[in-house]
Amino acid sequence: AFAIFVGLGAPLLCFTPVDGGVLHLFNNASGAGKTTVTQVINSLWGHPKRLSLLRKDTPMAREQRMGLWKNLPATMDE
């Protein structure tokens, strides 16, 4: 639930002195809901699967997409 609220509140960071943040969801177990949480966060702002950054994206491509999205959350699944 905390990660979903972080996704909802991400656009509000522009009103704070904080420049950004990172939330890392980690669990060794399969089926813990990491992918589901990232898809829920993406679905708040657009398409659940198409908004996710990919592992094969170059660092420049990731940076460009985050720059275009400004304060929207950027998610990346394993």
Summary mean pLDDT of the chain? 89
For residues 50-62, one letter each, b for 16 or more C-beta atoms within 10 angstroms of the residue's C-beta and e for the rest, the string is: ebbeeeeeeeeee
Nearest CA to 13 among 69, 60, 78?
69
Does the structure show a pLDDT above 80 at 78?
no
Confidence at residue 15, expressed as pLDDT on a 0 to 100 scale: 93
Confidence at residue 29, expressed as pLDDT on a 0 to 100 scale: 81
Answer yes or no: are the C-beta atoms of 39 and 49 closer than 8 Å: yes
Q: DSSP character for 59?
A: H
Confidence at residue 53, expressed as pLDDT on a 0 to 100 scale: 92
- For residues 18-39, give the mean pLDDT: 86
Does the structure show a pLDDT above 90 at 58?
yes
- For residues 10-19, give the mean pLDDT: 89
